Copies of this chain bind each other. A is one copy, B any other.
Amino acid sequence: MDIATVFGIALAVVLILMAIIIDFDNLEFRIDQLQFFINFPSVLIVIGGTTASVLSSYPLARVLRLGKIIAKVFRQPPEELIETLTLIIDVSKIARKNILAIEDALPSIDNLFLRNGLRLVVDRVDRELIIDIMHSEMRYLDMRRDEEVAILKTFASMAPAYGMMGTLVGLVLMLQNLDDPTTIGPAMAVAILTTFYGTFAANVFFAPWANKLAAQKESDKILREMVRDGVLYIEKGERPDFIEQDLMNYLPPDLRTMYEEMKFESAQESA
């Protein structure tokens, strides 16, 4: 669970709520004002309409993965780089003794890209073909991530558009029913509400989520490059300490220090 994302959303919601229900001039709570901001058709237009346009924008199979995409946003980014590096080193030690012995370790490997790569090694697939297959997989994973970011960006750009459409519908209805002047204010308020919903959905939810997924892309790419190099070293039967020294270049400076300390400690313990 990524606390920053959850906290960020909660904070935004609470602040908007405070602006609605607290009367700062008289310092009193006005929970009754909350009703002015609840309007079912406005929610329908903004959330439903935005989803509808996303549905027409992308293949169905992709949109159905939306739940998984959003889940990724909330997932605490694990220290995958260090864990995966350690794992690769461990596997390379096994492989030096008996390359087929890796097979037993495969089921316990969570990273699918690493597991698939090692399976190819166990199956004694030709080195050139391993490179081709891993390259093709990296290309597809990149494409998929780009598409996920694009879907969230489409949400972020469609929400204000539908918000505006709802407001225009409300304005037209209001202007056609001007008989009773006392209803103008509330009718206009309801019309404006849809624009508020659209802006809220875009800036509190969709735009930050798209930002977050896009930021994850670069680190995912580095992780996959490290895995690819690792698998190819293992296939070649390279020495574990050489693999470690080379792959450590994929760690950012702070993680490299952390990794070296971990290694030092475990060396002392085992000593």
A interface list, Cβ under 8 A from B? 2-5, 7-9, 11-12, 15-16, 18-20, 22, 24, 33, 36-37, 39-41, 44-45, 48-49, 51-60, 63, 77, 116, 129, 132-133, 135-137, 140, 143, 147, 150, 154, 158, 161-162, 164-166, 168-169, 171-173, 175-178, 182, 185-186, 188-189, 192-193, 195-196, 199-200, 202-204, 207-209, 211-212, 215, 218, 245-246, 249-253
Q: Nearest-CB distance from A76 to chain B (Å)?
A: 9
Name the B residues within 8 Å of A202 (CB-CB). 161
Number of copies: 5
A-side interface mostly: helix
Q: Is the pair A4, B199 in contact by a Cβ cutoff of 8 Å?
A: no
Q: Is the pair B199, A165 in contact by a Cβ cutoff of 8 Å?
A: yes
Q: Is the pair B129, A57 in contact by a Cβ cutoff of 8 Å?
A: no
Listed by A's residue number, 21 A-B pairs whose Cβ atoms lie within 8 Å are: A4-B55, A4-B59, A5-B55, A8-B55, A15-B44, A19-B44, A19-B45, A24-B39, A37-B172, A56-B204, A56-B208, A135-B249, A140-B252, A140-B253, A147-B215, A150-B215, A158-B203, A158-B207, A168-B192, A168-B196, A175-B189
